[in-house]
């Protein structure tokens, strides 16, 4: 056999044992009478020591080799290696495969930019940190299978070629060869099918589901991704959240040994936005948003007098660090959110400094400092305008400063549920209401009467699981009453014809006895990213796309042969 064990299966207990090891050459050091080779396999690195009398073939970095020998205790242990107390005294060594000089360093700390790493992803995957990430991701999936199987869920696959439906992101569409001019859509989620499974009497469903969304990319988003997808019948919201908390508790414990205290706290959407400036608040640090509307609306500054909401955040100790250049950068950040500028107030030993003081009297300045509880050398940042717009912009600045100033302790995990979202959001550009989550979310019993009078006041039975400022999953209780579903569709601007054309088969199923049901989907990549301690989702995907939604390794997407297009009845128009 080529191998008797993995490298890190060996320890000081195995001294004297004869072994056969295989792997890649991570490093070779020739000291004349002795040659040291760091051998890397999936488990880690072990040192091979080759003495005189052993024939050594031509060996270079990343060659695949086999080595046979005896485990020995090292004279000087290497504390940085799991196998640092031992070495293997080689009796025989053989090259299994040669390698060209690699275009990048194969180590946790590499010299390669991301595009080069993605082009040579098969080399990048040899880096121990990426292999560890993929192992943790696999462990999360294992925990999901184990936990949900034990709790009465049935794993069911749903179609990947389905009907294009409105709302959400753009669909990826697939042309039909059999029916020219007709298209399938790749699923953005299994939403309709998992609800149909509840109507079909499955009661508890789960799936590790592939999903596809044609949307602009960012650090935590990919065009194809995976959900741990679930749906349940005859459960209320408390029961759903309790079951999901059990899964999270098991997953964190078994993947990284972290104990999550349950039950998790719940925060209303309104509080999350008002206090943290985000619907996915990172509550591991302060820098809370403070309402100063009553104080600053009395000033002579038109930007404050006419604003519906004025909020502030205090950045401790940053007044001396805030130069003209920094203020210009803060102004640019504010403009990204549609603001003309940002109020910057420095609290100094000689009082408050700001270009806006000419619009304020002494009492207003004093009240601002008292309300914000700012101290000497603190920085007060103020934005004024529409409430949610102000909150989200300050929330982004809050997060930036927290990372910049090191307010977040590493290896800490803060989990909470955000609940009581608005059911609708009004689009000024489209002149209509849109579903904040999706059109099948149930209103809360306390607010459903507003469907007829003021849809903006309707709250939803939706819930997001937020971990360290990331939305790691989300779901809701679903509408199961036909009349209510039709009413929601109508509020969203769907005519009877639209409903029949886009949701006909789904709505028809509701005519045959629909149980109360609800569900949730965890983003597997997001959850893996958080657990692995990275902020880049591509670090937990074996073969990810770049920010242009392309694969530098395979060059996908690319043009196809004209014959293929002809089969599909498609013509490319320049």
pLDDT of residue 248: 98
- What's this model's pTM, rounded to 2 decimal places? 0.92
Of the chain, the percentage scoring pLDDT greater than 70 comes to 99
Beta bridge partners of 495: none
Is the pLDDT at 167 greater than 60? The verdict is no
Is residue 250, in this structure, part of any structural domain at all?
Answer: yes
Of 55, 73, 97, which residue constitutes the final position of a domain?
A: 97
Q: 326 and 231, same structural domain?
A: no
Q: 264 and 143, same structural domain?
A: yes
Beta bridge partners of 351: 348
Is residue 179, in this structure, part of any structural domain at all?
Answer: yes
pLDDT of residue 146: 98
Residue 169 tokens, joined: 């992101």
Closest to 440 measured CA to CA, from 418, 423, 455, 415:
423
For the range 175-184, what are the long-range contacts, defined as Cβ-Cβ under 8 Å and sequence gap of 24 or more? 175/568, 175/569, 175/570, 176/568, 177/567, 177/568, 180/568, 180/569, 181/569
Q: 519 and 422, same structural domain?
A: yes
Whole-number Å distance between alpha carbons of 66 and 56: 12
Give me the CATH number covering residue 55: 2.40.50.140
Of 371, 404, 437, which residue constitutes the final position of a domain?
A: 404
Q: 172 and 298, same structural domain?
A: no
Q: 459 and 504, same structural domain?
A: yes
For residue 404, give the H/E element and its range: helix 387-404
Is residue 443, in this structure, part of any structural domain at all?
Answer: yes
Quick: pLDDT tens for 395-441: 999 999 999 999 998 889 999 999 999 999 988 888 899 898 888 99
CA distances from 431 to 491, 493, 526 (A): 12, 10, 33
Rounded mean pLDDT of the chain?
A: 94
135 Cβ contact list (under 8 Å, min separation 6): none
DSSP assigned state of 422: B
Is residue 276, in this structure, part of any structural domain at all?
Answer: no
Q: 164 and 201, same structural domain?
A: yes
Q: Residue 49 is part of which domain span? A: 7-97
Q: What is the mean pLDDT of residues 231-245?
A: 97
Of the chain, the percentage scoring pLDDT greater than 90 comes to 89
Quick: pLDDT tens for 266-322: 999 999 999 999 999 999 999 999 999 999 999 999 999 999 999 999 999 999 999
Region of 103 (left: φ > 0; alpha: ψ -120 to 50; beta: rest) is: alpha
Q: 292 and 185, same structural domain?
A: no
pLDDT of residue 504: 85
Of 372, 404, 436, which residue constitutes the final position of a domain?
A: 404
Q: 200 and 74, same structural domain?
A: no
């Amino acid at each position: 056999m080529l191998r008797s064990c993995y490298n890190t299966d060996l320890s000081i207990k195995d001294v004297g044992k004869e072994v056969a090891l295989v792997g890649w050459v991570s490093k070779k050091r020739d000291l004349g009478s002795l040659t040291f080779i760091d051998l890397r396999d999936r488990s880690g690195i072990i040192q091979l020591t080759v003495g005189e009398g052993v024939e050594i073939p031509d060996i270079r970095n990343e060659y695949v080799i086999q080595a046979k020998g005896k485990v020995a205790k090292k004279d000087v242990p290497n504390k940085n290696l799991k196998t640092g107390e031992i070495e293997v005294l080689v009796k025989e060594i053989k090259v299994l495969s040669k390698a060209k000089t690699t275009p990048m360093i194969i180590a946790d700390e590499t010299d390669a930019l991301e595009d080069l790493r993605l082009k040579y992803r098969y080399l990048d995957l040899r880096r121990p940190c990426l292999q560890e990430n993929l192992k943790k991701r696999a462990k999360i999936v294992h925990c999901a299978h184990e936990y949900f199987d034990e709790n009465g869920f049935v794993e069911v696959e749903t179609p990947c070629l389905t009907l294009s439906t409105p709302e959400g992101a753009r669909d990826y569409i697939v042309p039909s060869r059999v029916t020219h001019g007709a298209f399938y859509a790749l699923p953005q989620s299994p939403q309709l099918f998992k609800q149909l499974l509840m109507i079909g009497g499955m009661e508890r469903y789960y799936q590790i589901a592939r999903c596809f969304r044609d949307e602009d990319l960012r650090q935590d988003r990919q065009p194809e991704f995976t959900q741990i997808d679930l749906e349940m019948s005859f459960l209320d919201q408390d029961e759903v959240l309790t079951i999901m908390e059990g899964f999270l508790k098991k997953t964190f414990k078994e993947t990284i040994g972290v104990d999550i205290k349950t039950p998790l706290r719940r925060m209303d959407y309104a509080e999350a936005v008002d206090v943290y400036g985000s619907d996915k608040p990172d509550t591991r640090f302060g820098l809370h948003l403070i309402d100063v509307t009553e104080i600053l609306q009395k000033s002579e500054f038109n930007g404050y007098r006419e604003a519906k909401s004025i909020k502030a955040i205090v950045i401790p100790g940053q007044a001396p660090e805030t130069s003209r250049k920094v203020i210009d950068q803060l102004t640019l950040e504010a403009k990204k959110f549609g603001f003309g500028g940002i109020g910057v107030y420095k609290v100094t030993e000689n009082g408050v400094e700001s270009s806006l003081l000419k619009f304020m009297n002494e009492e207003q300045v004093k009240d601002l400092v008292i309300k914000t509880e700012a101290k000497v050398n603190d920085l007060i940042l103020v934005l004024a305008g529409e409430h949610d717009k102000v909150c989200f912009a300050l929330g982004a600045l809050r997060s930036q400063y927290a990372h910049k100033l090191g307010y977040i302790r590493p290896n800490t995990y803060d989990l909470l549920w955000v609940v009581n979202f608005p059911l609708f959001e009004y689009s000024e550009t489209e002149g209509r209401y849109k579903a904040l989550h999706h059109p099948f979310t149930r209103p809360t019993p306390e607010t459903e009467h507003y469907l007829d009078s003021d849809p903006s006041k309707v709250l939803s039975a939706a819930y997001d699981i937020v971990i360290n400022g990331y939305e790691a999953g989300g779901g809701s209780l679903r509408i199961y009453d036909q009349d209510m579903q039709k009413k929601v569709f109508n509020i969203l601007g769907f005519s009877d014809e639209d409903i029949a054309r886009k949701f006909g088969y789904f709505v028809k199923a509701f005519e045959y006895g629909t149980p109360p049901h609800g569900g949730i989907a965890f983003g597997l990549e997001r959850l893996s990213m958080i657990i692995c301690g990275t902020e880049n989702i591509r670090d937990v995907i074996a073969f990810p796309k770049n920010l242009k939604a392309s694969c530098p390794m395979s060059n996908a997407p690319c043009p196809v042969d004209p014959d293929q297009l002809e089969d599909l009845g498609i013509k490319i128009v320049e």
